[in-house]
Structure 1
Amino acid sequence: MTLSPADKFAITELSNTQMQALDNHDVAAWVSAWLPDGDFIATYGTFSGHEAITAFINGHIAAGKEDGARHLMTNYVISGDGDTATSTCRVTKLQVDAPPFIIATGVYTDVLVRTEQGWKFRSRRLDIERGVFARAEIEAAAAQHRG
């Protein structure tokens, strides 16, 4: 059984709602998008289970990495068999407190499971595209040249 349009909408809504939670620094809402034993896989490492995911995102927020950030989610491609699904989408992270600029871009690759509470991430993988690291290297080189 293929996914219904309502299922695809619910999966898109889960992803978008999770990113709004991150933009609002609502850790509990952000983490609740995963199964209790779900995985967040990113450049920063792999975090398994709500406790590890919570510790990671709390540290990320405390370090200021989400201050003034807004995440735009686009280009969803979702498929599945009814109770499991896969999804890919693009993310653009903007800085909006200062004159706006793109902080980073990337791709989310998700495995989802239908639960009694709705769709949840079994795993959510974030692949950040090279540009964010290239910008940091350029800024570091410029600072070193000035110093």
Structure 2
Amino acid sequence: MKSNDKLAIHELLNKAAYGYDSRNVDMLVDCFAEGAVMSMSITDGDLIGPFEGQNEIMKLMTGAMEGQMDTRLHNISNIFFEKEADEAATVLSSLTLTAVENGSIRLLTTGIYRDEVVKVGGSWKISKRHLDLELPF
């Protein structure tokens, strides 16, 4: 895998976080492949999902956004490639989720993303995402 592909994948993961935080659904949709699948678990609990396809993933995310009265910031860090090829990769990254409300900032949760990304029409997209959260948010 070329270094410019790795940089593009780093940007993809950060773009997905920014798209959610800024509630820019068009930006967020653009980060996922059409047939993407997403799931999560909280505190080693039962599997939530899978949510299949962009529409179902966006329903999950926009539904969560509707109930949030604070300002969220998904900080993505410790990105590394577990598997890599020219057109696909498995990427792990850490999440630190903070919120600002009523003039104060607080840590909501931390977690690990396991993303499978693929090259679609020259652009990298998330094809499969699983999030393990340490605490409910």
Deviations 1:74-113 (A, max 9, x none): 0011241111111000010011234111101000001111
Matched, 1:69 2:69: no
**SS of the residue aligned with 1:25?**
coil
User: Which has the larger share of strand?
Assistant: 2
- Find the aligned partners of 1:28 and 1:63 in 2 and give their Cα distance: 19
Normalising by structure 1, what TM-score?
Answer: 0.81
Unaligned runs of 5+ in 2: 42-47
Greater C-alpha Rg = 1
Which runs of 4 or more aligned residues in structure 1 lie more than 2 Å from their structure 2 counterparts after TM superposition? none
- Percent same amino acid among aligned pairs? 26
User: Which has the larger share of helix?
Assistant: 1
Normalising by structure 2, what TM-score?
Answer: 0.87
Alignment equivalent of 2:3, drawn from 2, 5, 20:
5
- Find the aligned partners of 1:56 and 1:117 in 2 and give their Cα distance: 27
Q: 1 or 2 for the larger relative contact order (CA 8 Å, sep ≥6)?
A: 2
Alignment equivalent of 1:88, drawn from 88, 92, 95:
92
- Find the aligned partners of 1:6 and 1:58 in 2 and give their Cα distance: 31
Shift of 1:117: 4.4
Unaligned runs of 5+ in 1: 137-147
Shift of 1:28: 2.1
| Cα RMSD, aligned residues only | 1.6
